[in-house]
A and B are shown apart, each in its own frame.
Chain A
Amino acid sequence: MEFFQRFAIPNPSLAIYASMVAIGLTVIAIIAGLTYFKKWGYLWREWLTTVDHKRIGIMYLISALIMLFRGGVDAIMMRAQLAVPDNKLLDAQHYNEIFTTHGVVMVMFMAMPFIFAFMNYVVPLQIGARDVAFPRLNALSFWLFFFGAMLFNLSFVIGGSPDAGWTSYFPLAGNDFSESVGTNYYMLAIQISGLGSLMTGINMITTIIKMRAPGMTLMKMPMFTWATLVTNLIMVTVFPVLTVALAMGTMDRLFGTHFFATTNGGMDMLWANLFWVWGHPEVYILILPAFGIYSEIISTFAGRNLYGYKSMVASMVVISALSCMVWAHHFFTMGQGALSNSFFSITTMMISVPTGVKIFNWLFTLWKGKIRFTVPMLYSIGFIPLFVIGGVTGVMLAMSAADYQYHNTMFLVAHFHNTIIPGVVFAMLAGLTFYWPKMFGFMLNERIGKWAFWFLSIGFCLAFFPMYITGLDGQARRMYTYSEATGFGPLNMVSFVGAGVMAIAFALIVYNVYYSVRYSPRNIGADPWDARSLEWATHTPVPEYNFAIEPQVASSQAFWDSKKKGHELFPGKLEKIHMPNNSGVPFIMSAIFFVWGFSMVFSLWIPAIISVIAIFACMAHRSFEKDHGHYISVKEIEETETKLRGAN
């Protein structure tokens, strides 16, 4: 009996039982549906085993959207609980679990896959490549992320969710103060998906450095590719730090070591340092690709080249370097003393300089442009003022003496949502709308999209601006309730209303997808936005090999040049194309990682050891396998090209 008790939820509630039933029914529905429509083979052949960067990108996108809704539900529940004083909707334990999973899901399993979706889909097209450098590794990255996310979400119904905050500070996250397996899930799920992120980093760097089309020098790369390159450099630098920190945390929890414990020399501050050495660059890992997407969109819809290309690149490089030198600003209050705080205070403020350069460059890109207010452009324009507010409050927080008052309050919560939502989420939605036609061959409805944008922006302001005020009024973050006497009630109610308005916006986005699938015209051509870079130079839908002939590039907006200045984009002749083969190994290996993670969470050593052996067996299989890919003949290419041209 004791064996099974471990898997029970320590703090069950009606909501959790209902979700269990819902999850069960969904799984049954999916399995039944796949069987009924005989889609198992299709699913396996076309998706689970694919190594095509475009399909992997789409799978990242779908996962990110699902996780966005999971994290969003968490957010609504939190705001509902805090809407009125002394609310009894959730108890402390549930509230703690919810804000923990909200943070982890949104950062690790929503924002990360969202940016990976665009990196995967767009970068090879933008640099005129056939695929990424290591397509098989790319599939492995995706599936590791996917199974990591699934493992994390499983905590909700088996064993209990983590409840020590997304930062999981020790000793709170240690066995003494977090007895349930929740934090084990945290350590292992993030570890597994983190491995995937690291591999993506290696893959993308190699792809961008080594596989650009002829003529595309580094300073002729489109801005999103630049952003991806810089981002992946940061990723390769800091993800190993997270790997080590998580491994130590796991050992503390499972093997009784004393890295972060309060006894036998353990040091809780070490976790905080390691976590933020990764954690701060992590927010730039999220925001830089977003900046890249904004650059593409603003330049497209202003009808102008990007102003100050060189300074845009330089500022990203500077940001990436500075991002690794500011981590201690997350704990100015840890007692490092005035000298150390002064150093980190200044480096943090310095980041605002290159960021400011970027903002001004976008403004000057609009200058003398011919601005079309499409949905992607609305998000990009809405981003500028809202992000500036988030940015300047960041400078305020960077003043370490004043931070003693902001730290751990709703002011901080308002600040980072004020950067992440207009910064990252707006960019993702803008990118989603912008690249949707390239991915799926039809456009999202502009009218519904605009409504969604306005709801989201206004909802955002309502939800988060009041937090600046309650923070200054002494409302600490992560409190599951507060008394009426504090006076926080009315503003928290405004926040709740704002969260509701944001929820309507997301519902509208879902409706938009449904509506557009049904009613959007399909004859949109390859370049519906009148865009500027290479990804729009190929057909819609994009053929498996991306470009029939390798493009020849002479500027950062090669496609625009070919449209307006008579630049010859495809001067070569058709040749047979080498493509990688599909493989089921990445999927299987990641599934084994899932089993390993689950076994480790519950200290089931035998299955854990067996899965480790199986993982190595998969690697050995890969080593001995003879896989030389396949060729697409000239005849096949010609047939595809004729068909696609006809379609347009």
Chain B
Amino acid sequence: MKIDHSLPLEYSTKQNGLNIFGFWVFLAAEIMLFATLFTSYFTLEHRVGSGPSGAEIFEITPVLIETLVLLTSSFTIGLGVHAMRIGNKKAMMTFFMVTLLLGLTFLGFEIFEFVHYVHIGAGLQVSAFTAILLTTLGTHGAHVTFGLFWGTAILLQLKKRGLTPETANKSFIFSLYWHFLDVVWIFIFSFIYLKGMM
């Protein structure tokens, strides 16, 4: 592969450019996916059947913690990409690791939240509202989980193969993914939790 040194490492080969562009298109599809989930959520929000409503089950504390943790992780991965741009592999890996740890924390809280919901009678099968709530949150959570594995794989490759056009490309794409999940979470936070609690 030809490497063009005038471009940042993650863009330096033709395939790298294609990968990043393709990933943006993929994110567009992801936006549609979450948009559909949100639309369905708004449609089913008040259809609680004999189950509880959002106002009855949402609790602000864990949600705030989750939000803070995830926002921070978005910041740290930004720092990681910055470190990558200036060629500091060690700093980059550290920031990526911090990001993943924060992601794991987020996931822990979310699992705790899910267990809590099931416990208080807001399980998946209770009503249309609980189904769409847990599906929307669960889809985001599944994305985060996937991101944790993916990020770990990239870290391993960074460690073994160093900062090459290929690993840089993967890391950059991963950061796009992570930021995207953060944006989705902001929507979840505002339009599911805050709106539901009001």
Binding site for B on A (CB under 8 A): 133-134, 198, 201-203, 205-206, 209-211, 236-241, 243-245, 247-248, 251, 255-259, 261, 263-267, 270, 274, 277, 578, 616, 620, 623-624, 628-629
Q: Are A616 and B149 in contact (CB under 8 A)?
A: yes
For residue B135, which residues in chain A have a CB less than 8 angstroms away from its CB?
247-248, 251, 257
Q: Are A236 and B28 in contact (CB under 8 A)?
A: yes
In the bound complex, what is the Cα–Cα distance between A262 and B49 (angstroms)?
Answer: 10
Of residues 1 to 57 in B, which have CB atoms within 8 Å of A's CB atoms?
A: 1, 17-19, 21-22, 25-26, 28-30, 32-33, 36-37, 40, 43-44, 47-51
> Residue of B at shortest CB range from A199?
B26
Q: A267 with B44: in contact, given A241-B36, A616-B149 (CB under 8 Å)? A: yes
Q: Which 9 A-B pairs have the closest CB atoms?
A: A265-B47, A264-B49, A265-B128, A240-B33, A265-B49, A240-B32, A257-B131, A206-B22, A244-B36
Q: A258 with B36: in contact, given A240-B29, A265-B48 (CB under 8 Å)? A: no
For residue A628, which residues in chain B have a CB less than 8 angstroms away from its CB?
1
Binding site for A on B (CB under 8 A): 1, 17-19, 21-22, 25-26, 28-30, 32-33, 36-37, 40, 43-44, 47-51, 124-129, 131-132, 135, 149-150, 153-154, 156-157, 170
> Residue of B at shortest CB range from A623?
B153
For residue A134, which residues in chain B have a CB less than 8 angstroms away from its CB?
18-19, 22
In the bound complex, what is the Cα–Cα distance between A203 and B126 (angstroms)?
Answer: 40
Give the residue of B25, B48, B127 whose beta carbon is less than 8 angstroms from that of A202: B25
Give the residue of A210, A258, A274 whose beta carbon is less than 8 angstroms from that of B49: A258
Q: Are B43 and A270 in contact (CB under 8 A)?
A: yes
Q: Are B18 and A266 in contact (CB under 8 A)?
A: no
Give the residue of A206, A248, A256, A578 whose beta carbon is less than 8 angstroms from that of B125: A256
Q: Are A623 and B157 in contact (CB under 8 A)?
A: yes
Question: What are 12 A-B interface contacts by the 8 Å CB criterion?
Answer: A133-B22, A134-B19, A201-B25, A205-B25, A237-B29, A240-B29, A240-B32, A244-B40, A259-B40, A266-B49, A267-B43, A623-B157
The secondary-structure label for the interface of chain B is helix
Give the residue of A210, A255, A274 whose beta carbon is less than 8 angstroms from that of B21: A210
The secondary-structure label for the interface of chain A is helix
In the bound complex, what is the Cα–Cα distance between A237 and B150 (angstroms)?
Answer: 25
CB distance from B22 to the nearest CB of A (A): 4
> Residue of B at shortest CB range from A238?
B32
For residue B19, which residues in chain A have a CB less than 8 angstroms away from its CB?
134
Give the residue of A211, A236, A256 whose beta carbon is less than 8 angstroms from that of B32: A236
Interface centre among A210, A257, A629 (most CB of B within 10 A): A257
CB distance from A252 to the nearest CB of B (A): 8
Interface centre among B28, B127, B128 (most CB of A within 10 A): B128
Q: Are A240 and B36 in contact (CB under 8 A)?
A: yes
Give the residue of A203, A210, A241, A264 whose beta carbon is less than 8 angstroms from that of B127: A264
Q: Are B47 and A267 in contact (CB under 8 A)?
A: yes
For residue A203, which residues in chain B have a CB less than 8 angstroms away from its CB?
22
Further 9 A-B residue pairs, CB within 8 A, beyond A210-B21, A240-B32, A240-B33: A134-B22, A205-B25, A248-B135, A261-B128, A263-B49, A264-B127, A265-B127, A277-B36, A623-B170
Q: Are B149 and A266 in contact (CB under 8 A)?
A: no
Give the residue of A244, A255, A266 whose beta carbon is less than 8 angstroms from that of B124: A255
Q: Are B25 and A264 in contact (CB under 8 A)?
A: no
CB distance from A573 to the nearest CB of B (A): 16
Q: Are B22 and A270 in contact (CB under 8 A)?
A: no
Q: Are B128 and A624 in contact (CB under 8 A)?
A: no
Q: Are B44 and A265 in contact (CB under 8 A)?
A: yes
Q: Are B126 and A243 in contact (CB under 8 A)?
A: no
In the bound complex, what is the Cα–Cα distance between A181 and B153 (angstroms)?
Answer: 38
Interface centre among B21, B29, B43, B157 (most CB of A within 10 A): B29
Q: Are A257 and B37 in contact (CB under 8 A)?
A: no
Q: A239 with B29: in contact, given A202-B22, A258-B131, A623-B150 (CB under 8 Å)? A: yes
Interface centre among B21, B32, B157 (most CB of A within 10 A): B32
For residue B132, which residues in chain A have a CB less than 8 angstroms away from its CB?
259
CB distance from A325 to the nearest CB of B (A): 15
Q: Are A255 and B125 in contact (CB under 8 A)?
A: yes
CB distance from B176 to the nearest CB of A (A): 14
Interface centre among B21, B25, B28, B132 (most CB of A within 10 A): B25
In the bound complex, what is the Cα–Cα distance between A251 and B149 (angstroms)?
Answer: 25
CB distance from B50 to the nearest CB of A (A): 6
In the bound complex, what is the Cα–Cα distance between A37 and B25 (angstroms)?
Answer: 44
Give the residue of A244, A255, A259 whose beta carbon is less than 8 angstroms from that of B128: A259
For residue A578, which residues in chain B have a CB less than 8 angstroms away from its CB?
1
For residue B44, which residues in chain A have a CB less than 8 angstroms away from its CB?
259, 265, 267, 270
Interface centre among B28, B36, B170 (most CB of A within 10 A): B36
In the bound complex, what is the Cα–Cα distance between A616 and B148 (angstroms)?
Answer: 13
For residue B25, which residues in chain A have a CB less than 8 angstroms away from its CB?
201-202, 205-206, 236
CB distance from A627 to the nearest CB of B (A): 10
> Residue of B at shortest CB range from A232?
B25
